[in-house]
Amino acid sequence: MFCYQCQETAKGTGCTIAGLCGKKEDLANMQDLLIFVLKGISIYATKAREFGIENEKANKLVFDGLFMTITNANFDKERFIAIIKEGLVLREELKASYVKAGGQIPETIHDSAVWTGNTVEEFEAKNKSVGVLATQDEDVRSLRELVIYGLKGLAAYAEHAFNLKHEENSLYVFMQKALADTTNDNLSVDQLIALVLETGKYGVDAMALLDKANTTTYGNPEITKVNIGVSNKPGILISGHDLKDMEDLLIQTEGTGVDVYTHGEMLPANYYPAFKKYTHFIGNYGNAWWQQKEEFESFNGPILFTTNCIVPPRKDAKYANKVFTTGASGFPGSVHITERNADGRKDFSPIIELAKTCDAPIEIEKGEIVGGFAHDQVFKLADKVVDAVKTGAIQKFFVMAGCDGRSKSRNYYTEFAKLLPKDTVILTAGCAKFRYNKLQLGDINGIPRVLDAGQCNDSYSLVVIALKLKEIFELGNINDLPIVYNIAWYEQKAVIVLLALLYLGVKDIHLGPTLPAFLSPNVAKVLIENFGIAGIGSAEDDLKLFMNS
């Protein structure tokens, strides 16, 4: 195996024996084979569109498959084998449709468009040769993987929107064209760089679509004080990102005597008006994803993973037999809740029945945290914010969005937040917030110094806010705003957010705690010279740099 798609990759170069995320070599190789098969599907889907052929099954399978391979999403090898088999059948259907319409198969075509296999043994024989290192040129490999990791993040957001019945076919067209382009050895480095930025463009589109899906379905997020204590009833802990799953669970638990708590990236569900009406929706339990081994033990009830962020539980963990998965997530031995029924709802009754037999959660903290500062809510505070900037009450905004993770070096973000002058404001989204959202940082003229927009996809809100401020202050360039970007990353949804910012022309982004291992020296040089991408130093030195810039 070879995998370097996440920030915690071994030795900062790549996992070669087993993933630090917990995936084994056989699973990693099977994920590589799925990406290979998706490339073959995408080649024919792209060609078929020349004849007006659109295949909805291919669209869904591609974004499902990409999402399943995101770090910490799915550890169930059998699920990957099943979707590979399904994909190979679908690829041949697409090929047949293309030929029937008059398409010609080129004499030379990428192996992903022709290879066939039916058994696990055949899959295992093939998957060792189709991974990241199959591309020999280091710079081409780097750019191809940068595109693919961006596509994985884009696919995640497209799937969440799809679940709320919001689609943009252009996203599917691009995902498949871009996957096909990663097999094209004739593309120059400059063309691949252009493809990277184009991926960012569609990342903006996907986040805008999901924002529309979430807000039209559940209302605009509101400033909310979220309870972090517990009740005396048994509960279900829901983690991940999918708000449709959140809705289904709240509806089905109402009146059952079972409470619902959010965890990790599901925390922002507390900000939506549609969910606040449920009295058994208690609040948030715990912190970022990497602390779940300890926090899930004390929760006592079942845990539902709707997306990525699974840390494989120890075999002797009390909660090991209480983990449920759905959507793109999966873990061997856990009950997987399949697709929605005819009524449009998933059946969460097995989770609810188990919860009824469990003790109430053990309280691990008390109090409240405040969030709900997505673009609509911040616009309502626009006069206050603008006045604070004009009078000097706010000197700078610091975008500290992105991911959290296990490494001790991430303490940097807590220390940085503590050191920030009292006339600065943090704009955040994603689970990076757990490094500082419980600090008592105060406010500026009633404006909290930590404005949490929501999930990682809600980084879109931060972009909208920045563009609105640019308009209000009549600036010609987004980089002229008093905004510093000091972003933490971990997995591929952070990659698409980064590419979206680059597409929008944002420069001088600091990325940490380490720069991605998948950036070759030459590709990193391009990003540094053209966009001012930089790493992080010490909290003290970086603060001096940012405040003087």
Q: Which of 67, 3, 7, 4 is nearest to 404 (CA)?
A: 7
Q: Is residue 394 one of the residues assigned to a domain?
A: yes
Which domain-ending residue is among 107, 134, 161? 134
- State the Cα–Cα distance between residues 401 and 339, nearest whole angstrom: 32
Say yes or no: 446 and 325 in one domain: no
CA distances to 36, 52, 83 from 55, rounded to whole Å, are 19, 10, 17
Q: Is residue 381 one of the residues assigned to a domain?
A: yes
The CA dihedral of 39, 41, 47, 53, to the nearest 10 degrees, is -150
Range of the domain at 337: 224-356
What pLDDT is stored for residue 339 in this prediction? 87
The pLDDT tens digits of the residues spanning 100-157 come to: 999 999 999 999 999 999 999 999 999 999 999 999 999 999 999 999 999 999 999 9
Q: Is residue 159 one of the residues assigned to a domain?
A: no
**501 SS3 class:** helix
- State the Cα–Cα distance between residues 220 and 102, nearest whole angstrom: 48
Cross-strand partners of 330: 74
Say yes or no: 252 and 351 in one domain: yes
What pLDDT is stored for residue 362 in this prediction? 98
Q: Is 9 exposed, middle or buried (0-12, 13-18, 19+ CB in 10 A)?
A: buried
* Max CA distance (Å), the chain: 69
Q: Which positions of the chain have pLDDT values less than 50?
A: none
Say yes or no: 388 and 341 in one domain: no
The pLDDT tens digits of the residues spanning 197-206 come to: 999 999 999 9
- State the Cα–Cα distance between residues 302 and 124, nearest whole angstrom: 34
What pLDDT is stored for residue 231 in this prediction? 98
CA distances to 1, 65, 112, 119 from 125, rounded to whole Å, are 13, 20, 14, 10
What pLDDT is stored for residue 342 in this prediction? 87
Q: Is residue 428 one of the residues assigned to a domain?
A: yes
Q: Is residue 7 one of the residues assigned to a domain?
A: yes
Report pTM.
0.97
Q: Is residue 54 one of the residues assigned to a domain?
A: yes
Which domain-ending residue is among 134, 150, 174? 134
Domain total in the chain = 3
Which domain-ending residue is among 134, 163, 179? 134
**For residue 12, what is the domain's CATH number?**
1.20.1270.20
- State the Cα–Cα distance between residues 84 and 29, nearest whole angstrom: 12
